[in-house]
Amino acid sequence: MARATAGAPRRIRRMPTLWTGSSHGVVWRLELQRDALLPGRLVAGRIEVSSRGAFEARVLVVTLRATEHWQHRVTTTDSEGRTSSHVVTERHDLLSEPVEVDAGVHLAAGEQRSWTFELPVPPLGPATLEADVAGVDWMVEAKLERPGDFDSSIEAPVRVLQPVALLRSGAVPVGQFALFDSADVEADGATGSLTLDPVPLCVGAPFTAQLTLHPGGSRRLQEVRGEVRVKVEATVANGLDETITAWSGSLPIVELAGDRAISLSGTLSSQALPTIELPHGRASATFHVILATAWAADPHLVRDVAIATTLEL
């Protein structure tokens, strides 16, 4: 599988729950109760429109839509046998949830109208995944449909969350020991057990990690580092992958001689990096405890983890 440059966490903007816009003679105001949507729940909303001129529409519909994207490398050969490659980003509509709000809408010039609605969020998502080589984006669109003429619409980005309960239910594939509080780890003769709290981890939330370490002899270190790494990959031919560090921390431990208990704590990045399996991609996470060693390869004590994007469910 081809590889992309390792990614870094991106700062996440807090999305508004109110959007305004203008389209084909209609001024729009779209409100949602919240922009971070829970699978299997309804989200309430309100639409307000005003028309600059007389306007007639067959129907007013609000749609929640998910689009998957993924990247792969394409190699071509020209007529002289020279090869070149470039990265292609593909997009595919995963699903849409339309709700008809009103039919036979007639607006006089300058008239204002408003409607309320409830929009169902699919029970299995998929959750928003914010990465370059693979991901899922969600949009909500309100549209006045006019057969034979230009539709008027407004759309806005939202997020669908990955609840803890969905990961624990088995509906999402995770690593073998990702949902265990404690898992055995081993590298370069060092062994131990790594315990996480909570399980699964959640973006933007604090956690603690406890390592019970049997170093397998005396070791001279530079430091002990902890990292939560998320591997995002496009699961297609010549698909790209990237590894994003969702958290890192270190301890100034330079001598290991005998069994040792090591504690790490922190807060995971707010970037939406849920553990997820998609038609053309996936995201999986691991926790690394790294025994940073001068002039030698660093042993990595690694266990699987799962990541949710909300603690509400």
Write the DSSP symbol of residue 168.
H
Q: Given 108, 129, 161, which residue is the final one in a domain?
A: 161
What is the total count of domains within the chain? 2
In order of 142, 218, 229, 260, 296, the CA distances from 255 in angstroms are 62, 7, 26, 10, 15
Residue 155 lies in a domain: yes
Q: How far apart are CA 31 and CA 16, in angstroms?
A: 9
In order of 186, 204, 264, 288, 300, the CA distances from 195 in angstroms are 14, 19, 10, 12, 16
If we measure between CA atoms, which residue out of 105, 23, 115 comes closest to residue 59?
Answer: 105
Both tokens assigned to 282: 């996936």
Residue 109 lies in a domain: yes
Residue 203 or residue 295, greater confidence:
203
Residue 2 lies in a domain: no
**Beta-sheet pairing, 281-292 with 300-305:** antiparallel
Residues 122 and 238 in one domain: no
Per residue in 156-204, pLDDT tens? 999 999 999 999 988 898 988 999 999 999 888 888 899 999 999 999 9
Residues 297 and 170 in one domain: yes
Locus of tokens 């060693």: 293
Q: How far apart are CA 198 and CA 290, in angstroms?
A: 21
**Is the separation of the CB atoms in 268 and 247 below 8 Å?**
yes
**Is the separation of the CB atoms in 214 and 259 below 8 Å?**
yes
Residues 174 and 260 in one domain: yes
pLDDT value for 1? 37
Residues 61 and 178 in one domain: no
Residues 130 and 238 in one domain: no
Percent of the chain with pLDDT over 90: 65
Q: Given 130, 161, 192, which residue is the final one in a domain?
A: 161
Both tokens assigned to 76: 């071509």
Residues 40 and 175 in one domain: no
Residue 9 lies in a domain: no
Could you tell me the pTM of the whole model? Answer: 0.86
Residues 147 and 171 in one domain: no
Domain carrying residue 289: 166-308
Per residue in 47-68, pLDDT tens? 999 988 888 889 999 999 999 9
Q: Given 135, 161, 187, which residue is the final one in a domain?
A: 161
267 has pLDDT over 70: yes
Residues 153 and 29 in one domain: yes
Q: What are residue 74's DSSP bridge partners? A: 86
Both tokens assigned to 73: 């490398």
Q: What are residue 232's DSSP bridge partners? A: 242, 283
pLDDT value for 16? 53
Instruction: Assign residue 173 the CATH number of its domain.
Output: 2.60.40.640
If we measure between CA atoms, which residue out of 188, 148, 175 comes closest to residue 293?
Answer: 188
Residue 12 lies in a domain: no
Identify the sign of the CA torsion 170, 176, 243, 263: positive
